[in-house]
Amino acid sequence: MGGMRLGSLKTNLTGRKFGRLTVVGLSHRDKKSVSFWLVKCDCGVEKTVNGQSLQRGTTASCGCLRREIMSRVMRGAFNR
């Protein structure tokens, strides 16, 4: 985590689960002090995500959920 102190964070998200994403640890903060977290999706993909997006529910997977939903929609459209 590059020497960043988790104690200075308002909320430590490490270990928490948001949708399909489990927070592995703090990745970095941007120039505006927005925290970005390393997460691991249930499908195995790791990515860095804005902490506010996790907490608001805007981000719930690595993108695999959207692909699954679109696949179901497309299959349903062609099975009519």
Distance CA 23, CA 26 (A): 8
pTM for this model (two decimals)? 0.77
Length of the chain: 80
- End-to-end CA distance of the chain, in Å? 51
Q: In this predicted model, what pLDDT tens digit does every residue of 18-68 receive, in sequence order?
A: 999 999 999 999 999 999 999 999 999 999 999 999 999 999 999 998 888
